[in-house]
């Protein structure tokens, strides 16, 4: 036999023996418990910028603890497995949150604005009018069929289930776990579905969709139903402030409903600075685990950092990064909690991902340690870098977004005592940022294309990251469509 053939034969034999010894690349039923973390709009640039921002905070509190801010570590990035996820929807190159989260939860590719329905479901009629009236659905019969979710599959096996968010509990991401509707904006209808969905824990904002005008003047309900009372009659403990949640012994509660604001919960920056009586995402995660983790059959819990997305829509990078760090803290809290109950996470799968990207861009070429919210300082000279117009520019900018206009409401931040936005104009020439504090809470990053007023920035169509750890996590790798994440979680959890 020629030497080359002897070597090849030997190599093949070794490879075959190793293949026999290697563990199979599947994880059937390993995870009795699943915690699915969703950072809404948390694209790769947001993750990177948040890591650096965390490093800046760490160095301010503990000088010398890092070589530079870039060396900081996020809890989500400590998970052993990673993948890239394609996010396009059934009808959009760039998705909105409804079909993207629904793809994770059902494995079905849907049209924009559709929540956990079949792919033929439409959110609008033939003329383009949305199937909503106020915040009630007008979806016609026969417009698609419900698609079963991971939460429902887990419930069907007797596991406890829950959804926690910093948005309204009927917002697209949490709703995709338990509701089925042709148009995501039917918040009253989604709230009604939550009453009978069998969710053991539901926490976030959204009082105005659950309480009638008789007890809540800010109500958006078009009827007199008190959904909170209906859920209390079903055995739910109800809390509406952070202090009440903190005082609740959730280890003795079987069902928990927490509605802490009329609509969305506060940004983390404002919750802390303004002393809001609202729980943090980590607080809600802990209480949710107190309830669902007592089930010997296991649980499925979805936790969303939902306002990351809203800050990015507003091109307000500082609030987006603060909310991303609060989201990462919730991941750290959950992992520490489950390590005590399930050492080594041998029965618990942790998945962290985003539903879509945004248009935030990371500019070059800053020196190491330059403030992520600051202006670019050249890595060679250390001096402030200048654009072609001779003016400085920030590290973080947006491809598109909004600017304040003549309307008074567009000029101020209603969530921060109506303080004025600091927003460089988007006109024939750029504003000079030399003397501008770009780290101010209410600074809005520059935008390339002006789409209107603050809040009008669009999602981005790029792939997002996924991190996984614990039981069954090894099957999360490579690049995959968002619908395949459903299959992976289902496989790992044996659903």
Residues catalogued as catalytic: 97
Phi, psi of 172 (to 5 degrees): -55, -45
93 DSSP 8-state letter: S
Distance separating alpha carbons of residues 75 and 352, to the nearest angstrom: 10
Task: Name 489's Cβ contacts closer than 8 Å, sequence gap at least 6.
Answer: 34, 36, 104, 150, 349, 351, 495
457 close to 402: Cβ distance less than 8 angstroms? yes
Distance separating alpha carbons of residues 169 and 265, to the nearest angstrom: 10
352 close to 342: Cβ distance less than 8 angstroms? no
Helix (H) or strand (E) holding 20: helix 3-21
Structure tokens at 301: 């819990």
Distance separating alpha carbons of residues 215 and 141, to the nearest angstrom: 32
Nearest to 356 by CA among 455, 467, 459: 459
Distance separating alpha carbons of residues 48 and 3, to the nearest angstrom: 51
Nearest to 359 by CA among 397, 404, 410, 321: 397
Nearest to 357 by CA among 457, 272, 236: 457
468 close to 350: Cβ distance less than 8 angstroms? yes
Could you tell me which residues are beta bridge partners of residue 392? 386
133 close to 127: Cβ distance less than 8 angstroms? no
37 close to 330: Cβ distance less than 8 angstroms? yes
CA 375 to mean position of chain CA atoms: 28
Residue 130: how many other CB atoms lie within 10 Å: 16
Helix, strand, or coil here: 75?
A: coil
Helix (H) or strand (E) holding 58: helix 44-61
CA angle, residues 407, 134, 100, in degrees to nearest 5: 90
Nearest to 144 by CA among 187, 104, 98, 188: 98
């Amino acid at each position: 036999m020629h030497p080359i053939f002897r070597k090849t034969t030997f190599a093949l034999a070794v490879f075959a023996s190793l293949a026999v010894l290697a563990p199979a690349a599947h994880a059937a039923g390993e995870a009795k418990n699943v915690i699915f973390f969703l950072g809404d709009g948390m694209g790769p640039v947001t993750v990177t910028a948040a890591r650096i921002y965390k490093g800046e905070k760490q160095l301010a509190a503990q000088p010398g603890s890092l070589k530079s801010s870039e060396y900081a570590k996020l809890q989500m990035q400590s998970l052993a497995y990673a993948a890239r996820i394609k996010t396009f929807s059934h009808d959009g190159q760039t998705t909105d949150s409804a079909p993207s989260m629904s793809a994770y939860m059902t494995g079905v590719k849907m049209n924009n604005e559709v929540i956990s329905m079949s792919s033929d479901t439409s959110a609008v009629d033939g003329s383009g009018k949305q199937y909503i009236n106020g915040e009630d659905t007008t979806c016609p019969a026969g417009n698609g069929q419900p698609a079963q979710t991971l939460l429902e599959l887990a419930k069907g096996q007797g596991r406890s289930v829950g959804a926690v968010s910093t948005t309204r509990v009927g917002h697209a991401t949490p709703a995709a776990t338990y509701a089925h509707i042709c148009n995501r904006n039917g918040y009253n209808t989604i709230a009604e579905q939550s009453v009978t969905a069998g969710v053991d824990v539901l926490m976030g904002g959204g009082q105005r969709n659950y309480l009638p005008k008789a007890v809540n003047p800010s109500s958006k309900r078009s009827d007199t139903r008190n959904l909170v009372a209906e859920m209390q009659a079903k055995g739910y403990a109800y809390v509406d402030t952070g202090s009440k949640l903190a005082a609740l012994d959730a280890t003795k509660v079987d069902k928990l409903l927490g509605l802490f604001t009329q609509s969305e919960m506060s940004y983390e920056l404002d919750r802390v600075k303004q002393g809001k009586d609202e729980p943090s995402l980590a607080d809600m995660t802990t209480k949710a685990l107190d309830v669902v983790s007592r089930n010997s059959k296991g649980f499925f819990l979805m936790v969303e950092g939902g306002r990351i997305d809203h800050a990015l829509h507003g091109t307000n990078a500082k609030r987006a990064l603060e909310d991303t760090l609060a989201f990462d803290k919730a991941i750290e809290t959950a992992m520490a909690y489950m390590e005590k109950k399930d050492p080594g996470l041998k029965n618990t799968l942790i998945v962290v991902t985003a539903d879509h990207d945004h248009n935030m861009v990371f500019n070059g070429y800053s020196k190491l340690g330059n403030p992520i919210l600051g202006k670019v300082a050249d890595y060679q000279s250390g001096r402030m870098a200048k654009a072609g117009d001779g003016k400085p520019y920030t590290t973080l900018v947006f491809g598109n977004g909004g600017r304040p206009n003549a309307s008074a409401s567009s000029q101020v931040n209603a969530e921060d005592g109506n303080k004025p936005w600091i927003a460089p104009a988007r006109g024939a020439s750029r504003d000079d940022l030399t003397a501008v504090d770009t780290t101010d809470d209410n600074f809005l990053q520059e935008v390339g294309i002006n789409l209107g007023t603050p809040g009008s920035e669009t999602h981005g169509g790029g792939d997002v990251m996924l991190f996984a750890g614990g039981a069954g996590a090894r099957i999360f790798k490579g690049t995959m469509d968002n619908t395949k994440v459903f299959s992976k979680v289902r496989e790992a959890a044996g659903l």
